[in-house]
Amino acid sequence: MFLWILVGVMAAIELVLALSSSGIIGLDNLRWSAYVLGAFWQPVLSGALPPVYPGQTALMFITHAFLHGGFMHLALNVVILLSLGKFVSLHIGAGKTMLVLFLSAVGGAACFGLISSSSAPMIGASGAVFGLIGLWQAVEYRMRRRSGLPVQPVVMTFLGLVVSNILIFVMLSGGLAWEAHLGGWIVGCIAGQGFARR
């Protein structure tokens, strides 16, 4: 249920922004205003630009995850979030799953802020989604090692993620926040070896 509420909030935000961009409601620059206020900005983190409001430097570590670049961007994240999130929550509970999502979003933003030099806004729940992927892979790796099964499927899945990120990065001419994916994945792996173990 909590996953549907989370997805509903993200979908409602995207719907309002899409309607605004189409000129149906409000101002046609509402999307950009939302990005200014809620996206993750590396220049704000580094101090190159001042925050727009008090607390933005801290809040943007989580608010960026609720903003997307359109319904396709949202749909890609939502499909994985719902399917993998349901699987994860059945094994570790709703509370721990929410904590993993939160920490992965923060970790993804932190990794982006530390590695990227981009002045463009970083948006999307993909850091949180990759946290779920990292958690799932950590659990599967540990299970396979404990059972004496080969870990090659886990390694191949990881390599597949790396290759797909490279390909999408090239296809989008650098418009992919792979740093956020990496940060979220690392947090998920750590959680899978720690507090989110079955």
**What is the pTM for the complete model shown?**
0.91
- 101-152 per-position pLDDT tens digit: 999 999 999 999 999 989 999 999 999 999 999 999 998 998 898 889 999 9
Per-residue pLDDT for the chain (198 aa), expressed as one digit of tens each?
889 999 999 999 999 999 998 888 876 779 999 999 999 999 999 999 999 999 999 999 999 999 999 999 999 999 999 999 998 998 899 999 999 999 999 999 999 999 998 999 999 999 999 999 999 999 899 889 888 999 999 899 989 989 998 998 888 887 889 999 999 999 999 998 887 666
Write the burial class of residue 120 (CB in 10 Å: 0-12 exposed, 13-18 middle, 19+ buried).
middle
What is the CB-side half-sphere exposure of residue 115 using CA atoms within 13 A? 14
Q: Which two tokens stand for residue 76?
A: 């890609």
Answer whether 188's CB lies under 8 Å from 135's CB. yes
* Phi, psi values for residue 67, rounded to 5°: -110, 140
Tell me what pLDDT residue 133 has: 95
